[in-house]
A and B are shown apart, each in its own frame.
Chain A
Amino acid sequence: MKRDKKGKGAAQNGGLLAAVPQRSFGDRLLKDFKGNWSLYLMVLIPVTYLIIFCYIPMTGIQLAFKEYRVSDGIWGSPWVGLYNFKRFFKSYKFVMLLKNTILINVYSLVVGFPIPIIFALMLNYLRMKKFKKTIQMLSYAPYFISTVVMSGMIIIFLDPNTGVINKVLELLGFEAMNFMGEAKYFKSIYVWSSVWQGMGWASIIYIAALSGVDYQLHEAAIVDGASKLQRIFHVDLPSIKPTIIMLLILQIGSLMSVGFEKVFLLQNQLNMSSSDVLSTYVYRVGLVDNDYGYSTAVGLFNSLINMFLLISANMIAKRTTNESLW
């Protein structure tokens, strides 16, 4: 849709250009500048910001191929070729980091993606208006809890001695468990708590899409004798398919970028073997151990995989369903 608009704009410009071919690009720019100088001035501020805080760091990626020396700075430090990458690939942590990053993300995707859709569909068929409003409002609330408070709540609730979850387990006759102290529980805790926090918010978009479904389609289905479940599968889901695919591509694109903060906060010595991911490793070797070149190399490796995933997800979606981000 965006593309179309741009295309049209370009075509119009082309038409205008054809009518006045004698003007050079420089002339037109100068004229535009004279008419719109205040706009240029205005845009200069955010553009300066983008250059300093987004584009200059991009030039810093060369650190991945260098050995950083404080006295020489980024540009003056000596090149070391692929040394940092080789070190990372040979490190005993490489397989573990990659495995944890992928597993946590795939788990999040498989659980976290369909649940908001199901939630939105169920809300859509809920007849009690007041109850519907209440549960909707309640389900958005956890989204505004900060990551620190969320992680804190998880740790306090799951405490082996005083945590309320363990108290309830004991009441029901089970034994208390040290959830945060055992590596095998980490991924489930991470994923399901994120579902609790994000499912209401993520469902908003689907609720909006569902409210846009043409009611005549539902009426036709009812006349044909379709049950509610059949209407979900044959009317609702096909109607919101474009929204679902768009969000799926976006999710796959960010598959490798686990939220750093929550993993970092929930990490401890006991669950490290299943909670250490690429982003926390980048932070640790970079800002704790001050191994700048190596950290940048690991970070670059991570974002290259991200780019690859996003581009392939987009391509697959384009081929199979004709929907795509760009």
Chain B
Amino acid sequence: MEKNIEKRAANKAHKKLISADKTFDVANVVIMILLFFIFAWPLWFVVIASFSDPGEVWRGNVILFPKGFSIDSYTEILKYKEIWIGYRNTIFYTVVGTVINLFMTVCMAYPLSRKKFMPKNILMVLCMITMYFGGGLIPSYLVVKNLHMIDTVWAMMIPGCLSVYNMIIMRSYFVNSIPDSLEEAATLDGAGPVQYLVKVVLPLSKPVIAVIALYYMVGHWNDFFSALIYVNDKNLLPLQTFLRNLLVTNTVGNVSQTQNLNPELLQKKIYLAQTIKYSAIIVSTLPVLCIYPFVQKYFVKGVMIGAIKG
């Protein structure tokens, strides 16, 4: 009898628990579906707006699905000379800049990962200080100016060419993931530190190099600050500056009312001026969007490596 009551009580508690967990699961799924839309809709909207009929977008008829397929905004955006110059420059800054970044990062990370390198602790401190303290905007600007780098491609790539954070990630990979016995063997075979780096360490560090290269590349692709401060020359401006002029300050692509156009054509131009913005976003983000699915696991890995080291 007593046992039965106990059993029933236990059953009741169990049922209560199950229902609490069920509520939790349902709420969880509902919130996640909501979040799915919150994340997806703005991105989805940019895509459909860029392919829809400009008039429909202007009138607000495009919200969830595209209406009236049109690629006018794409043909129009590609007529801008600035976007081509911007694209060319940004590709150059991204490729050359990342190569410089990786070179600098390896040059610092590798010596600091060697046990027998005497000044490594003091150099580490030298690096760490720059993570927490800097000269600020004007003193940095004056250095670049005194080096006559203003309005040159170097101003876009040399300041900030070593990220101490990335360097520490790479160093901890060198220290923790490459067995010491390899160095002993290489030394016995007569390899110096540089030979050991090129022939053994770098080939074994492909994952971490990929992660850091990707970090640097996205940084260059999205960089707008360097150009704002150091570059005025129209032929050197990156894509992001063009995008700022188009999307934020409206200094390009604006339709002036005084243009001698018949009303209908003018109306069309005004409609198009809005959809151009969406297609510009797509065109400029396309490279990142294309490589994103393939590399996202590396990004995640990079966050982990960084997090472990703190």
Contact = CB atoms under 8 A, between A and B. Distances in A.
Interface of A: 1-2, 6, 28-29, 32, 35-36, 38-40, 42-43, 45-47, 49-50, 52-61, 63, 74, 119, 122-123, 125-128, 131, 134-135, 137-142, 144-149, 151-153, 155-157, 162, 164, 167-168, 170-171, 196, 200-201, 204-205, 208, 225, 227-229, 243, 246, 253, 260-261, 265, 282-283, 286-287, 292, 295-296, 299-300, 303, 307, 310, 325
Given A153-B281, A287-B141, A53 B159 contact: yes
B248 A152 contact: yes
Contacts of B221: 146
Contacts of B123: 43, 47
Contacts of B21: 227-228
A61 B58 contact: no
Interface in B97-113: 103-105, 107-108, 110-112
A36 B281 contact: no
B31 A122 contact: yes
A227 B17 CA distance: 6
A27 to B, nearest CB: 12
B46 A153 contact: yes
B224 A146 contact: yes
Contacts of A168: 63
B24 interface: yes
B28 A125 contact: yes
B92 interface: no
B288 interface: yes
Nearest to B135: A57
A38 B162 contact: no
B139 A296 contact: yes
Give the one of A1, A122, A123, A168 with max B CB within 10 A: A122
Contacts of A229: 20, 24
B225 interface: yes
A325 B310 contact: yes
B188 interface: no
25 contacts: A36-B116, A36-B118, A39-B110, A39-B111, A45-B104, A47-B123, A47-B126, A53-B158, A57-B140, A125-B28, A128-B29, A139-B35, A142-B43, A146-B224, A149-B281, A152-B247, A167-B63, A208-B307, A225-B17, A282-B136, A287-B137, A287-B138, A287-B141, A299-B137, A303-B136
B138 A152 contact: no
Given A54-B130, A229-B20, A307-B133, A135 B117 contact: no
A115 B187 CA distance: 51
B24 A228 contact: yes
A126 B126 contact: no
A300 B137 CA distance: 10
Interface of B: 13-14, 17, 20-21, 24-25, 28-29, 31-32, 35-36, 38-40, 42-43, 45-46, 49, 58, 60, 62-63, 103-105, 107-108, 110-112, 114, 116-119, 121, 123, 126-127, 130, 132-143, 147, 158-162, 167, 192-194, 218, 221-222, 224-225, 229, 240, 243-244, 246-248, 274, 277-278, 281, 284-285, 288, 292-293, 296, 299-300, 303-304, 307, 309-310
Contacts of A149: 243, 247, 281, 284-285
A310 B132 contact: yes
A50 B127 contact: yes
A274 B126 CA distance: 38
Contacts of A57: 134-136, 139-140, 142-143
Contacts of B114: 36, 39
Nearest to A33: B118
A40 B240 CA distance: 38
Given A146-B224, A286-B137, A303-B136, A153 B300 contact: no
Given A2-B310, A50-B126, A225-B13, A265 B116 contact: no
A28 B117 CA distance: 11
B150 to A, nearest CB: 11
Closest 7 CB pairs of A and B: A57-B135, A60-B139, A152-B247, A167-B60, A146-B222, A299-B136, A57-B139
B133 A296 contact: no
Contacts of B243: 146, 148-149, 152
Contacts of B31: 122
B139 A63 contact: yes
Given A139-B35, A141-B292, A296-B139, 11 more contacts: A2-B310, A32-B116, A49-B104, A125-B25, A126-B29, A138-B40, A146-B221, A171-B60, A227-B20, A265-B248, A283-B137
